[in-house]
């Protein structure tokens, strides 16, 4: 039976480190600050906003929550974003996505100040991630995957890693982060002929596709470390990952649960990035 590797101990450890650092900063009169920028009242956004705010404040980061009407024009949205870009007291900006359709994301991502773009919306940060440039901000969820692997002592260098899914939210960035740490990486997706075969090659298997319980036990090699980034909620409100947890846990050596897995670390990584932005700016 696999060891169940939860997110909380990982988040707790990072939180402790960040709290200490921020205490020191405050003692010298500094104050890291996050601005969240939400358009409209989508439940997902509100839930993530609440989680991120709670976590950041717990660590000692100030949070300014900007909420704009769901029918705001692109022009007005850009004006609000520019204010945050220019506001020297704001170190990090989190824009909840997807934005409503009257706002062109491909334009906005080029407007957010890269040095405040703590969740890798700007192509500048996507580029730095691909290059492995440590001055950039990697996206929070893929970074949370890496934090979990490191916390639980999983050797990445030289490991056979399989990533299922190639979205910009999970698959592609996870693949790049694993590659930059010198794993041997393979990526499968909807056009892959034999996804199970790719999955089985992974000593580390990361799944982020948004299909509940897609990964069965015969997709997983004996002793694999399985990181489930999927969050699926059924009609009755039950949450499950992309991995068939009950079955796969009999075969894996370690497995993240859903909930209480990767998702529990994401907002802590966000806070970590705010602190990084603060230090770069001061």
166 labelled ligand-binding: yes
Q: Would you say how long the chain is, in residues?
A: 282
Q: How far is the CB of 161 from a second copy (least distance, A)?
A: 10
Using CB under 8 A as the criterion, what x/- string covers residues 213-232 for binding a second copy? --------------------
Stretch that binds a second copy, among 14-22, 48-56, 183-191, 211-219 (CB under 8 A): 183-191
Q: Would you state the torsion angle of the CA atoms of residues 271, 275, 276, 280, taken in this order, to the nearest 10 degrees?
A: 150
Structure tokens at 93: 């900006």
231 labelled ligand-binding: yes
Pick from 108, 176, 199, 225 the residue near a second copy by CB under 8 A: 176
Q: How far is the CB of 237 from a second copy (least distance, A)?
A: 33
Position 143 contacts a second copy (CB under 8 A): no
* Nearer residue to a second copy within complex by CB, 183 or 258: 183
* Nearer residue to a second copy within complex by CB, 190 or 238: 190
Pick from 123, 152, 196, 240 the residue near a second copy by CB under 8 A: 123
* Nearer residue to a second copy within complex by CB, 198 or 254: 198
Annotated binding site: 165-167, 231
Interface contacts to a second copy, rule CB under 8 A:
106, 110, 122-131, 133, 135-136, 157-158, 160, 166, 168, 172, 175-176, 179, 182-193, 198
């Amino acid at each position: 039976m696999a060891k169940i590797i939860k997110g909380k101990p990982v988040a707790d450890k990072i939180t402790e480190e960040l709290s200490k650092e921020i205490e020191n900063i405050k003692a010298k009169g500094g104050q890291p600050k996050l601005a969240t920028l939400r358009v409209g009242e989508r439940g997902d956004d509100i839930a993530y906003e609440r989680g991120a705010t709670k976590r950041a404040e717990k660590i000692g980061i100030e949070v300014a929550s900007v909420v704009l009407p769901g029918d705001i024009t692109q022009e007005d949205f850009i004006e609000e974003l520019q204010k945050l870009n220019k506001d020297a007291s704001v170190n990090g900006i989190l824009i909840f996505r997807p934005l409503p359709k009257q706002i062109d994301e491909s334009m906005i991502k080029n407007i957010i100040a890269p040095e405040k773009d703590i969740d890798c919306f700007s192509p500048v940060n996507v580029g730095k991630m691909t290059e492995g440039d440590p001055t950039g901000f990697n996206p929070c969820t893929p970074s949370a995957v890496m934090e979990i692997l490191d916390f639980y002592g999983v050797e990445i260098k030289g490991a056979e890693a399989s990533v299922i899914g190639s979205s910009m939210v999970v698959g592609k960035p996870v693949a790049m982060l694993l590659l930059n740490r010198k794993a041997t990486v393979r990526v499968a997706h909807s056009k892959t002929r034999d996804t199970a075969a790719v999955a089985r090659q992974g000593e580390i298997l990361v799944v982020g596709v948004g299909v509940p319980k897609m990964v069965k036990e015969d997709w997983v090699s004996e002793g694999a470390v399985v990181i489930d980034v999927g969050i699926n909620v059924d009609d009755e409100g039950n949450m499950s990952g992309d991995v068939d947890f009950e079955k796969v846990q009999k075969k894996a050596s370690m497995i993240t649960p859903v909930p209480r897995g990767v998702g529990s670390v994401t907002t802590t990584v966000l806070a970590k990035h705010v602190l990084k932005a603060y230090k770069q700016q001061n």
